[in-house]
Chain A
C-alpha cells in the first residue's frame, strides 16, 4: 500500500521527473505518427501497385506472344482450381504516342495495353480510376456525351462535334479567301486526325462505325469538287446521308477508343503570379491522337493507328499514369496483326486474380509446375515480384525509422535513469525511515519500480494521445506549416495525393506503449536496486 501511495506522491510532487519523461512522450508520439503515416503510405502504395497489376500474371517477355490463349486459360483454370477468381488476357506492347499541341506534334513513349473490357476489370482495379462515370461502371471505349470529371470541363461528344464544326467552318472561310488550293497549301489548319491521315495507313478492316478512312474534306479531290459544285447539286449528298456511309465524319464518328494515362495528357504547373497549381490538358476526351507501334510476328515492323481519346485513367501512381494507355484487345490485335496459325488472336500476357486469402506463392508454384520455364518461354510473376525493389526499400525504411526512434526512447531511458538516481539520493533519508519502520528491501525497490512504471505509463500515454491527435489532424498541421513557412509540404505537382494517408494500427500503438514503459521500468531498475541496498542506519544518518 505504502508503495503505491509513495510512488503516487512522488509522481505528483516531483515535476523534474515528469520533465525527464517528456522525451519518452515525444519519442512515443513520433513513433505513433511515423508508423501511422508510413503504413498509410505503404497501404496506399500497395493498393495502387496491386490494383493495376493483378495478383499474378503469365507473360511472354518482350514482344513475345502467347498463342492459343483460350487453351492456356483453360489450363490455368484447371491448375488453380478453386483458388482462381478471374482471368483476363491482355496485349502489352511498347508504343509511341503522337499528340498535337498547337499544331506541333509531340511524341511520347507509352505502354499500350490491349484489354478485354468485359474481364479486365475483374483482375485489376481499372475501372475505379477512370474519369467517366459510365466507364467506371462498365468501360466500353466509346466516347461519351457527358459524365466526365469536372476538372476536364466540357469534353466528350459535345466537344468533338463543336471542334469538328469549327474546323470545317474555318476551312470554308480559308477556301473562300484563298480558293480551293488552300487545303493543300495549309495542311496545319486541319484537325489532327485529318492531317495524320497523310500516313499511308491501311488497316485491316475494322468494325463500323469506327472507321479509319478519312472524312470527305480530307480528300483533296473531293474537297475541290465540293467547292466548285453549286449549292444543292452535291453528287455525294446521297452517299453522305446514307446510313452505311464509308465517309468518316469527325463530328459524329470516332476512331478506335483509347484511354490515356492522366499524366500523358495532363501537365501540372504552378502559376507564377498566384502560386496556385494549375492543370493543362494536351488532349481531352474527344481529341484524336496517333500511335506508332510494332506489329506482331517477326521481325516486327512499325505500324500506325488513329485513335480517339475516350477517357483518362488516373491511378495517382505517376509511374502508371505517365506510361499506360488502354485499347480494346480486339482492336489492338487487328492493328498489330496478332493472329496465330489457327486464326485465334494471340496475347502477350494472361492476368490472374486469386480468391481473397489464397496463397500467392503456392499458386505461383503450381503455374510454374504447369508451364516449366525450360519448356515454355513464359515468365510467371506475382505483383510482389514485379514491385519487389520498391516494396523492399519501403520496408527497410520503416524498419530503420523504428529502430532510430526507439533509440530516441532509449536515450530518454538514460534520462530517467539519471533522474531516478537523483531522486533516490534525495530520498535516501525517506528510504532509511521506511526501512526503520520495517519496510523490506523488496518493498523499497518496488516503490521505485512502480514509480518508473507509472512515469513510463504517463509518458507513453501522453505520447500516444499526442501522436493520435497529430495523426488525426495531420492535414491541418501540414496546412499550418505551409502557411507559416510559405512552402508546400506536399507539392501537388509531385505528389498525386492532396491528403496525407494515415493508418493507425492498434497493435503497433500498443506495442510502442509497452516498449516505452518497459524502457522506463528498465531504467528505474538500477536506481531501485541502489535504494533497496541502502543500509537503514546510514540512510537515516544521511543529511
Chain B
C-alpha cells in the first residue's frame, strides 16, 4: 500500500521532486552543496521574572539538503530553542539565520509566517493537533492557512486527495475522520507528520518526536522519518535527548549549556 502511495506521490510530484531524485542519486555529493538552513552565531536569552536566562550562547549550525540531522542535549541545553529559531517560530537576540541564501531572522512577521507555512514542516513531542478537527482536517490545516477560503473551496478535492495520500503514506488511511482524542499517541504523531508534509516543505523540524511514545511506537516513528529522508529526500532536523534515537541520524550536534560541544558526521 505504501509503495502504491509513494508511486502516486511520485507521479503527482512537481519540479521539486526532480531535485529530490537528484539529491537521492547524489547522496554523497549532496553533502557538499550549500546548506539548506544555517544559523550563524545565534544568541538567545529568556527573561524569567527579573532573571535573564541565557539559552543559546553563540551557536553555529547548518544542515544540507537531504540530510537527517539530530540535535542532542540535556534539558535546558537550548536544543528546542535552536529548533524554534530555525523554524522562524522565534527570533535570535543576536546572530543570523539563513534559509538557503535568504536571511530569515529579520524578516517581517508576515513573511516568516509564510516560510513557516510553506517551506518548513514541524513535528512536536506533544503532537499539537487541533482537538476540534478530524485527522483529515488537521492535515489540511496548513493548506487552509495558506489559501483563501474561496480558492480553498475551489481546489478542495485536490487538497483532500493529497491529504488522504499522505495519511496513507504514514499508515493512517483508515483514520481519516477520527478526532485526535480517539487516536493513540503514535497515530497522533503520524497525523502530525502528515500535516507537516502537506505543504511539500523543504525542511522538516522534529522536536522530540518520540519523546512521548513507548519504545516500539517511537521506533516506528523513527522508521517513518528515516524512510521519508531516504525515499522522499526530505531534509530533517530532529531534536532529542536520547543518544540511541540520535544515532539513527546522519549527523549529530550536541548542545551543552547553549554551546555546540561536538559535531560528528555519522555518514562520513
Contacts and interface: CB of A to CB of B under 8 A. Distances in A.
Contact of A2 (B89, B116, B144): B144
B135 to A, nearest CB: 14
B118 interface: yes
Contacts of B251: none
A273 B238 CA distance: 92
Contacts of A13: 132
Interface in B238-254: none
Nearest to A441: B109
A1 B153 contact: yes
A13 B131 CA distance: 11
Interface residue tally on A, bucketed by range: 20 to 34
B interface: dominant SS: helix
Nearest to A437: B142
B149 interface: yes
A274 to B, nearest CB: 62
B90 A537 contact: yes
A1 B117 contact: no
A440 B130 contact: no
A441 B114 CA distance: 12
A5 B144 contact: yes
B116 A438 contact: yes
B27 to A, nearest CB: 30
A13 B87 CA distance: 32
A540 interface: yes
A433 B128 contact: yes
B226 to A, nearest CB: 24
A430 B116 contact: no
A1 B130 CA distance: 15
Given A437-B122, A437-B142, A1 B148 contact: yes
A433 B131 CA distance: 11
Main secondary structure of the interface of A (DSSP, over half): helix
Interface string B135-146: 001000110111
Contact of B113 (A429, A439, A535, A540): A439
B148 to A, nearest CB: 7
A10 interface: yes
A534 interface: no
A537 B89 contact: yes
A480 interface: no
Interface in B96-131: 109-110, 113-118, 122, 124, 128-131
A536 interface: yes
Interface of A: 1-6, 9-10, 13, 429-430, 432-441, 443, 535-537, 540
Given A1-B145, A6-B133, A430-B130, 12 more contacts: A1-B144, A1-B148, A2-B141, A6-B132, A432-B128, A436-B122, A437-B116, A438-B114, A438-B117, A438-B145, A439-B145, A535-B90
29 contacts: A1-B147, A2-B145, A3-B149, A4-B149, A5-B137, A6-B132, A9-B133, A429-B128, A430-B130, A430-B131, A432-B128, A433-B128, A433-B129, A433-B130, A434-B141, A434-B145, A435-B113, A436-B124, A437-B145, A437-B195, A438-B113, A438-B114, A438-B116, A440-B109, A440-B113, A441-B109, A443-B145, A540-B89, A540-B124
